[in-house]
Amino acid sequence: MQKDTPLIIIKDIGRKYVIGTEVIHAIKSVSLEIKKGEFVALMGPSGSGKSTLMNILGCLDTPSKGDYILNGINVSQMSDDALAEVRNKEIGFVFQTFNLLPRSTSLDNVALPLIYAGASRKEREERAAKALENVGLGNRMDHKPNELSGGQRQRVAVARALINDPSIILADEPTGNLDTKTSIEIMGLLEEIHSRGNTIILVTHEEDIAQHAHRIVRMRDGLVENDYPNTDVKSVSPRLQALRDSGSDWEKIS
C-alpha cells in the first residue's frame, strides 16, 4: 500500500437483507475513506445502518454491492474463511460485553488470537504479558474475568485487541456496560493507544464518548448524514495531557 493511500476505502457499498417477501436495505449507499492513524466515531440512531456498517468494516459481513478495500485488499466478496484470516490479522475488536472466556486467565484471553496466528506458546505468553502490562494489568495476568472489575475486564479486551498489531481497533460501544468513572479511564486508554499511531473506529450512541474522536461520521436511514472533523476533541488521559504539556515525545516515553 502506498504511503498516502487510505487504510480504508469504501465505494458505494450497500447491504440488503431478504426477510420473507420483504427486502430491507440496511445500508443504501455509503462511500467513505479512513486514513491510517485516524480516530473516527461512527454514530447513528437505531436503524441508521451503523451496526451493519460496523459489521462490514470488521469483516464480519460482506456488502451486497460496492467495494471495501482494507489495507490495499478488496475484501468485499471474500469467503468466510478468508474474512476470518483478515479479521485476525488486520482488526482488533473491543466489545461492549468484553467477550472474554470465563474460565481462562487474563493472560490466556489476551493470547488467544495468537493461537490462530500460529505463534508458539512461549511467544504467546511473552507478548500477552507485555500487552497486559501496557494496559496497566501486569499484576492481574492470572486472574479470571469474574475476579476482575468491569474496567479491568475491558482493559483485558483492549490488550487482546492489540496483540496482533492490527491495522484497525474497532471499538463497539466500549463503555456501554461501565460506570462514568470507568468509562473515562477506558477512553483515556484509547486516547493513549491512538497517540501511539493506531487507527481507531469507535461505534457509539453517546455524544460525550464520541467527542473523544477526531472525526465524527453520523448515519441515518442507511446513508452518511454528516462526516466532519471534531474541532473540540475531549481529552481525559492525564498521562497524555502531561506529555503534551511538557512537549515530550510519546514514543520515547511509552
Separation of alpha carbons 69 and 57, rounded Å: 10
Average pLDDT over residues 206-224: 95
Provide the pLDDT for residue 160. Answer: 95
Give the 3-state DSSP-derived string for 59-122, with helices as H, strands as E and coil as C: CCCCCCEEEEEECCEECCCCCHHHHHHHHHHHEEEEECCCCCCCCCCHHHHHHHHHHHCCCCHH
Please check whether residue 9 lies inside any domain of the structure. no
Transcribe 19-33 into DSSP letters.
Answer: ETTEEEEEEEEEEEE
In one letter, which amino acid is 44?
G
pLDDT by residue (tens digit) across 5-24?
799 999 999 999 999 999 99
User: Confidence class of residue 250 from pLDDT cuts 50, 70 and 90?
Assistant: very low
Question: Contact, 71 vs 106, CB < 8 A?
Answer: no
Residue 160: inside a domain: yes
Residue 2 lies in a domain: no
Return the H-helix or E-strand segment holding 39.
strand 39-43
The mean pLDDT of 149-159, rounded to a whole number, is 94
Distance between CA 234 and CA 23 in Å, rounded?
Answer: 40
Condensed to tens digits (0 to 9), the pLDDT of residues 72-111 reads: 999 998 998 999 889 988 999 998 889 999 999 999 999 9
Give me the pLDDT at residue 116, please.
82
Mean pLDDT score of the chain, rounded to an integer? 90
| C-alpha to C-alpha distance for 117 and 132, rounded to whole angstroms | 19
pLDDT at site 235: 82
Q: Does the pLDDT value for residue 210 go beyond 80?
A: yes
68 lies in some domain: no
Radius of gyration, CA atoms only, the chain: 18
CA distances 246 to 1, 102, 193, 243, 253, Å, are 35, 42, 19, 5, 12
| Residues constituting the chain | 254
**Grid cell digits, residue 94:** 473491543
Domain count, the chain: 1
Query: Within a domain: residue 23?
Result: no
CATH number at 210 reads 3.40.50.300
The answer to the question of residue 130 being in a domain is yes
Residue 234: pLDDT band by 50, 70, 90 thresholds? Answer: confident
Structural domain including 193 reads: 36-62+77-253
Percent of the chain with pLDDT over 70: 92
66 pLDDT exceeds 90?
yes
Residue 252 has pLDDT above 50, yes or no: no
Helix (H, G, I), strand (E, B) or coil at 217: strand
- Is residue 31 in a domain? no
pLDDT at 216 (0 to 100): 97
- Determine the Cα–Cα distance for residues 19 and 73; give it in Å rounded to an integer: 31
The mean pLDDT value for 173-183 works out to 91
Is residue 14 in a domain? no
